[in-house]
Chain A
Amino acid sequence: MTETEPFTEADAEAMLVEEDAGEVRPTPVARLTAYMRGGGVLVPILTVIIAFLIAGLVVLITGHNPLTTYKSIFEGTGLNWLFPWVSGTERATAASNLQQTLIATTPLILTGLAVAYAFRGGLFNIGGQGQYIVGSVIGVWVGSSFASMPAVPHIVFAIVAASLAGAAWAGIAGLLKATTGANEVISTIMLNWIAIWIGVYLFQLGGPLQDPTNPSIPTSSTVTSTAKLPVFWGPPDLQGLHIGLFIALAMAVVFWVVLNRSTTGYETRAVGYNPDAAQSSGMSVGRNYVRVMAISGMFAGMAGAIDVLGYEFHLATNDIQLSNIGFLGIAVALLGRSTAVGTVFAALLFGGLATGTSDRNANLADPTLTTTLTFLIQGLVILLVSTDVIALAILRGRRRKPKTTAPRAPEPAATPPEVEEKAA
């Protein structure tokens, strides 16, 4: 140890031993949400454009033409159906593609809302995937049993049961946070994988819920015709667009109403902004954590049910392991600024991206290559969504700069954290 070194090991050890006795900070998520909501509409749009530009650059560097690639992706989404000049067979193809895009968008709206609701309550629900799986497992079980039920009650029963299951699954994380302070990020990640393995267990060969009529395939029983969601656009037997889209849009409205026009939503936002202030004004922060997670999980569970009742009709162990609808919900919510409207548009973007880059898009020169572009663009969007947080932070920092450039008094700069701690 040199003499000029003011930092002695004893100092540091003492520092490390010191316990955080209930030190209070605004949760990182609260900070994030506050920044995100300050950015307006322009920032997310810019984010998407930059992400597409970077991905296009990758396409260019690897010797492909980004413009034709993007054009065929766009046509694969079927969004060109909206253009009045598209006609004839081209229009029919576009319609069919657009149906697929909207089918993919539906669960993304819901898992996006799930993550968004938790964000607004100051929690990071990274467990949308697990809640989605639990919802789809319950949905497919209810949908394939109770065959004697009439159609409407059967569908309602399946969706409600799946939503409640999702709520309960997420509620575990909320309960653990409320009672023991367990970080919800870690517990929801663990719950994701537990859900995946339970799902695989149930439907694998010899599993308790494996389709008895199909003993050689690891899949669930097929949803009965009474529980299938009605198709309103396109051929019902060839994966036309089912009414799940309207359920998802209705849930976006519910999201907005609950969050902005109800006591529950008010408490959610209050706890999200500042748990301590909420606590001192008489709200139970712990109960709110449980409630926020349950509502969040409800959205994700519903997404699972709508997918199995709407177009999948049965659930193979592969589907469970390869699905990433719940994970994408994180990207959707971040890009959608945790608002109802933003989430719907972000879901449409990601739904379109998934459909446009999928293997079934015959326009693509190299479908397997383009499929991987989806992940690249998704990653870039998520990364850049966090950059505009930074852009704002830097802007704010600039504005405050005159203050911070003043000669730094060492003592006040160093003391606040410790003072806070002792006070707490």
Chain B
Amino acid sequence: MKTTQQRLGWAGVALGVLAGFISVTPAITHVALPSLILAAIGIGLGVYAVADERRLGIAAIVIGVSAIIGAIAAAKSGEANLRNVFTWSALIAATLRYATPLLFAALGGIISERSGVINIGLEGMMLMGAFFGVLGADITGSWVGGLFIAMLAGGTLAFVHAAFSIHLRADQIVSGTAVNFLALGITGYVFIDHYGTNGTPNDISRVPDISIPGVRHINFVGDAIGHANLLTWIGLLLVPIITVFLFRTRGGLRLRAVGEKPHAADTVGVSVFPIRYAAVVVSGMLAALGGAYLSVGFVGSFSQNMTEGRGFIALAAVIFGKWRPLGALMAVLLFGFSSALAQRLPTFSETTATLFQALPYVLTLVAVAGVIGRSRSPGSVGIPFVKE
């Protein structure tokens, strides 16, 4: 009997091969889209399978990626002037840019949900980070202050969510929804009240980009990953740190215990409440950093509701990555890639590019449905703890 993960991996490989096969056609038709979509789904399946069926998953990813390269190369050979738009290194760099805010929020989501508190409010916490990051950088005159204040704001909002859903035993979905509306109201109100209709000043201090000294000037790699925002590097660094924390330290074990079997954890002397509070507040801080990346890190300004649903993509990444940091990293890279592709794809097909934006949600829907291997949530997520 094959496991669902195996079947899934094979499906990914098959899709990738199919995508590679039809990727020859763009040379004639100039339309790379069908193979791009197939390959992306193949990669998605591979990412999903990789946790349990490592070799098969990686194979699916590799085949999918080569199919995409093939398709693009074929389309490019048709029209040479597309080369500038579709430069690979630029695509990779764009993927990292799109993935960074999602990564922070997804890591936050993992910590919160592992402790047993659903965090629908990631979106709101990101928005708080985005605005208060700019406000902080403006007031303190330095991006360090901006990030600090962003984390403070995100943490405060998360504390509200925590207090309501942990101590006051409110429904966590309701509380999370409320937090999202609150963030929209608070950031919008303070933004208009403080900056009026002129918008945020355009000379605020921004989080610097960091180049890797040796890599920067290597031809391809340098353009792709040699030069990225400091927050991108921090985000990538957080992945192993949080993995080790969750699965290799006593603190992480307690966090997971509280999320899976709070009563059992309580019985053996682990205090459920403080751990859940800490987890939710940290989750808010991380989400806020993700939001701050958008404003202080990337564009250097704030506009109303600028997170535009990224918190929900992060939520999707948490589930798609099976509540594991590495899985979430893979998921946000995939989602970031689909965004980067959607942004650059109009050269190939103006309309269908939009559908790429829906990819994260479709993949996550398929993942939660468990049609191809269930992603299992922490045991007690969403259930308030009542000490007996």
Contacts and interface: CB of A to CB of B under 8 A. Distances in A.
Contacts of B315: 186, 189
Interface in B307-350: 308-309, 312-313, 315-316, 319, 350
B362 interface: yes
Interface in B167-218: 168-175, 177-186, 188-193, 197
Interface stretch (A270-278, A282-290, A341-349, A366-374): A366-374
A206 B355 CA distance: 13
Nearest to A186: B368
B171 A32 contact: yes
A11 B181 CA distance: 41
A192 B123 CA distance: 15
Contact of B269 (A6, A62, A383): A6
B382 A386 contact: no
Interface in B139-190: 160, 164, 168-175, 177-186, 188-190
Given A62-B193, A379-B185, A180 B374 contact: yes
A60 to B, nearest CB: 12
Interface in A181-207: 181-183, 185-187, 189-194, 197-198, 200-201, 204-207
Contact of B185 (A200, A372, A386): A372
A331 B181 contact: yes
B223 interface: no
Contacts of A197: 354-355, 357-358, 361
Contact of B184 (A32, A375, A389): A375
Given A28-B382, A382-B174, A190 B364 contact: yes
A398 to B, nearest CB: 14
A379 B361 contact: no
A408 interface: yes
B358 A194 contact: yes
Contacts of B172: 28
A181 B377 CA distance: 12
A378 B181 contact: yes
Interface in A388-418: 389-390, 393, 408, 410, 413-414, 416-418
A25 interface: yes
Interface stretch (B32-40, B100-108, B229-237, B255-263): B255-263
B379 A186 contact: no
Nearest to A18: B261
B181 A379 contact: yes
B370 interface: yes
Interface string B243-285: 0000000100110110011011101111000000000000000
A193 B362 CA distance: 9
A387 B170 contact: yes
A197 B309 CA distance: 12
B383 interface: yes
A374 B174 contact: no
B365 A7 contact: no
B383 A414 contact: no
Nearest to B193: A62
Nearest to B354: A201
A374 to B, nearest CB: 7
A180 B351 CA distance: 33
A176 interface: yes
Contact of A383 (B175, B197, B257, B261): B175
Interface residues of A, number: 77
A294 interface: no
Given A191-B365, A382-B177, A383-B182, A371 B388 contact: no
Contact of B169 (A377, A390, A410): A390
A389 B170 contact: yes
A360 B355 CA distance: 34
Contact of A62 (B173, B189, B379): B189
Contact of B192 (A6, A183, A372, A417): A372
Contacts of A208: 351
A334 interface: yes
Contacts of A7: 254, 265, 268-270
B177 A126 contact: yes
Contact of A379 (B168, B179, B313, B352): B179
A13 B362 CA distance: 33
B382 A182 contact: no
Contacts of B186: 376, 379
A90 interface: no
B188 A372 contact: yes
Of the listed residues B191, B261, B368, the one surrounded by the most CB atoms of chain A closer than 10 A to its CB is: B368
Nearest to B316: A190
Contacts of A191: 361, 365
Interface string A8-30: 01011101101010000100110
Nearest to B190: A62
Of the listed residues B120, B178, B312, the one surrounded by the most CB atoms of chain A closer than 10 A to its CB is: B178
Interface string A29-50: 1011000000000000000000
A408 B351 CA distance: 65
Nearest to A421: B261
Given A15-B257, A28-B382, A386-B174, A187 B182 contact: no
B369 interface: yes
A383 B179 contact: yes
A201 B374 CA distance: 30
Contact of A414 (B179, B192, B267): B267
A180 B371 contact: yes
A292 interface: no
Nearest to B174: A386
A22 to B, nearest CB: 13
Contacts of B313: 193
B23 to A, nearest CB: 23
Nearest to B191: A372
Nearest to B381: A183
A385 B354 contact: no
B268 A6 contact: yes
Nearest to A33: B171
Contact of B361 (A12, A28, A193, A380): A193
Contacts of B388: 408, 413-414, 416
Given A32-B174, A193-B361, 9 more contacts: A12-B254, A16-B261, A186-B364, A186-B368, A190-B362, A201-B352, A366-B192, A386-B174, A418-B264
Interface of A: 1, 5-7, 9, 11-13, 15-16, 18, 20, 25, 28-29, 31-32, 58, 62, 124, 126, 176, 180-183, 185-187, 189-194, 197-198, 200-201, 204-208, 321, 327, 330-331, 334, 366, 368-369, 371-380, 382-383, 385-387, 389-390, 393, 408, 410, 413-414, 416-418
What are the 5 tightest A-B residue pairs by CB atom distance, in nearest-first order?
A: A376-B185, A372-B188, A379-B182, A379-B181, A386-B170
